[in-house]
Structure formats: C-alpha cells, structure tokens
Amino acid sequence: MPESPLINPLVLFFASILTSNILLSNFLGTCSFIAISKDWKSSFGLGLAVTLVIGLCAAISWAVLYLVIIPLRIEYLSFVIFIIVIAAVVQVLEMVIDRFSPSLYLSLGIFLPLITVNCAVLGAVLFMQIRKYSLIQSVAFGFGSGAGWWLAIMLLAAIRKRIENNPVPAGLKGTGITLITIGFMAMAFIGFSGMIAVQ
C-alpha cells in the first residue's frame, strides 16, 4: 500500500464540493452537464445518479487498483479496467434500483447509461489513483466530487430557467450563454477557497 497524503477525509469531502468542484475547476462532465441542465427535474435525477456512481466507483476502483492492478503490474491497463468497473457499477445499480424502487428507476433509469461515459466518474477515479488516496479518502473524495457536480447542475438548471425569459444576443442563445453562466459560477466558487483549510 502506498503512503497516502495526510489529509482529513472530511475536509477532502467539503473541499471537493466547494473549492475545487470537479466540474467548475476541472471541467469534468461538461457534456451531459450542458445538455441536461435545461430541465430542473432531470438535473436532480442525473445529479443523484452521478453522486452514487462516483462514490461507489471510487471505493471499488480503489480495491481493484490495490488488490489487482498493482500486484499484477498491469498499471498500463488501468484506464480500460476502470472503465469496465464503472460500466459494471452502472449496470448493477440499474438492476438494483429497478428491483427495489421502480418509481426511482423510472426517473433515474434513462440517465444511468449516460453516466458510463461521463468524464467526471473516470476523472475522479484517476485523481484518486494519482493522488494515492487511502480507501476512506477515496470514498470521501468520490462522494464529495459527485455532490459537487450535483450542486453545480442544480444551480445551473435554476439559473437557466431565469435566463429563458431574458433577452440574449442571438449568437449566444443556448450553449453560449450557458457557458458564460458556468464561468461566473466557477468564479463564485473560487471564493470558497479561503474558507476551507485543507490540513
């Protein structure tokens, strides 16, 4: 096992939601973010699904990394192995939700397959690998990143609802103004960086 950094997992959790939001400062998961944030309800569903998947994938990938990949010395295959882990987690989650909560499945179901190719999930897993997080740190970072993504998409969905009624230059309509909004959100989130002391 490698030496993991001396960072409090709780701080890591809050820092990954606010100060270094995986979307607003690492640009991960932007594609589905822009497409889905048109609609408040879908945003909620997708955000919840992403949070669950990143959290679970961070824990399982951690185990796969230290129990399989490193002992077998197949680090060069880690990208594709992580993708398979993510696809499997999404598949299992889909089945479990279908089984136990059909109503949740109805609202979440269509988003789950989208998540396999959401960069935020693989991004969080790769960050976990490079930063050598411990299991607890990985889980905190995973759920924090997911929650941060969820928070960002809910905020953006709310803002977009207001923008709909405002006059916007023709060339900026749709994606353009959304990107500018995300830029302002990113600036606002930088303001959090003084608040949380990651120690």
Partner 1 sequence: MKSNYGKILKDGIWSNNPIFVQVLGICSTLAVTNNVKNTLIMAAGVTFATGLGSLTLSAIKDLIPRKVRMIIQVLVLSFYVILVDIVLRAYLPAVSKQLGPYVGLIITNCILMGRAEAFAAANPPIASLVDGVANGLGYGIVLTAIAVIREFLGFGSIFGMRIAGAWFTPWTIMIMAPSAFFLVALALWGAKSYTARAEARRKAAGAVRSR
Partner 2 sequence: MKKDSIAYVVCFTFAACALFVLPLALANEATRPRVDANRRFAAESAVLRAFGIAYENPEDAARRYAALVRELPDGGWSATVDGAAYRALRKTGAGLWGSITLIVAADDGAERLRGVEILEQQETPGLGGRIEEAWFKDQFRGERIGPAGISINQEGSGSGDADRENSRVDAVTGASRTSDFVEAIVNAAIADLRSGGAR
Residues in touch with partner 2 (CB under 8 A) = 3, 5-7, 15, 20, 25, 76-77, 127, 130-133, 193-194, 197-199
User: Least distance (Å) from partner 1 to the CB of residue 106?
Assistant: 23
Which residues are within 8 A (CB) of 2 and not within 5 positions of it... i.e. 6 or more apart?
A: 132
The nearest distance, CB 7 to partner 2, in angstroms, is: 5
Alpha-carbon distance of 70 to 66, in angstroms, equals 6
Contact of residue 72 among partner 1, partner 2, none (CB under 5-8 Å per partner type): none
Among partner 1, partner 2, none, the one that 30 touches (CB under a kind-dependent 5 to 8 A) is: partner 1
- Closest separation between CB of residue 101 and partner 1, Å? 25
C-beta closer to partner 2: residue 15 or 122:
15
Q: Of partner 2, partner 1, none, which one sits near residue 138, judging by CB under 5 to 8 A according to partner kind?
A: none
DSSP letter for each residue of 12-48? HHHHHHTTT-TTTTT-TTHHHHHHHTT-HHHHHHHHH
Structure tokens at 149: 């993504």
Long-range contacts of 125-128 (CB under 8 A, 24+ apart): 125/57, 125/58, 125/61, 125/82, 125/85, 125/86, 126/79, 126/82, 128/58, 128/61, 128/62
Q: C-beta of 35: minimal distance to partner 1 in Å?
A: 8
The CA-to-CA distance between both ends of the chain, in Å, stands at 22
**Residues of this chain that bind partner 1 (CB under 8 A):** 24-31, 34, 76-80, 82-84, 87, 116-123, 126-127, 129-130, 169-172, 175-177, 179-180, 182-184, 186-187, 190
Q: How far is the CB of 100 from partner 1 (least distance, A)?
A: 25
Cβ atoms of 50 and 150 closer than 8 Å? yes
**Closest to partner 1 by CB, 7 or 83:** 83
Q: Which partner from the list partner 2, partner 1, none does 84 bind, CB cut-off 5 to 8 Å by kind?
A: partner 1
Integer Cα distance of 123 and 25 in angstroms: 12
Rg of the Cα trace of the chain? 18
Q: 27 touches which of partner 2, partner 1, none (CB within 5 to 8 A by kind)?
A: partner 1
